[in-house]
């Protein structure tokens, strides 16, 4: 199962379709793309501050490891460790970027795939109700009065209640 958090831009458009198109789904969990290609992944996601901090960290790490005369194998292990950390924190880095830009978290959704997560989120967001015949009803479900459902105040119109003694 995959978990996504959903973000909406600070000034969403009025049109629901355009508003839905601007939403961003951020996946929780390990990202192989971020771990293997960290600088490129940061560029693709326009994470300029994270990229700057990555470059500063890698330069500082290289200078420090060369200064203490660490063997090249251990320097490689240190670089791999940084990239693994980025892979594990990829979702957190994206959420951090969005929250700094005042994007609003709309919620979280869990499902077997991204497509299913998007369907579940938008179904709940739009208040849609799917029926077995394939039809869709948009909006909140109608309220149905039942005989056993209490009114606004239980027993308000029932008169005095006799107690069993």
Output the pLDDT for position 95.
95
User: Helix 72-88 to helix 48-67 angle, to the nearest 10 degrees?
Assistant: 160
CA pair distance 164, 143, nearest whole angstrom: 35
* Torsion sign over Cα 103, 104, 108, 109: negative
Distances (CA, A) of 153 to 149, 157, 158: 11, 9, 10
Output the pLDDT for position 39.
96
Tens digit of pLDDT for each residue in 30-78?
Answer: 999 999 999 999 999 999 999 999 999 999 999 999 999 999 999 999 9
CA pair distance 85, 89, nearest whole angstrom: 6
Global model pTM greater than 0.85: no
3-state secondary structure of 124: helix
Containing 55, the helix (H) or strand (E) segment is helix 48-67
């Amino acid at each position: 199962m995959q978990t996504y958090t959903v973000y909406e831009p600070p000034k969403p458009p009025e049109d629901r379709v355009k508003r839905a198109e601007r939403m961003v789904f951020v996946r929780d969990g390990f990202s192989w793309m971020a771990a293997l290609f960290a600088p490129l992944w940061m560029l693709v996601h326009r994470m300029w501050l994270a990229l700057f901090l990555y470059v500063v960290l890698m330069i500082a790490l290289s200078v420090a490891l060369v200064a203490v005369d660490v063997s090249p194998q251990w320097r490689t292990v240190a670089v791999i460790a940084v990239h693994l950390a980025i892979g594990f924190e990829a979702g957190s880095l994206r959420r951090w970027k969005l929250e700094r830009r005042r994007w609003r978290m709309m919620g979280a959704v869990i499902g077997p795939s991204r497509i299913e997560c998007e369907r579940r989120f938008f179904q709940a967001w739009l208040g849609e109700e799917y029926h077995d015949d394939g039809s869709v009803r948009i909006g909140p479900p109608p309220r149905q009065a039942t005989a056993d459902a209490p009114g606004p105040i239980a027993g308000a119109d029932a008169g005095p209640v006799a107690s069993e003694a």
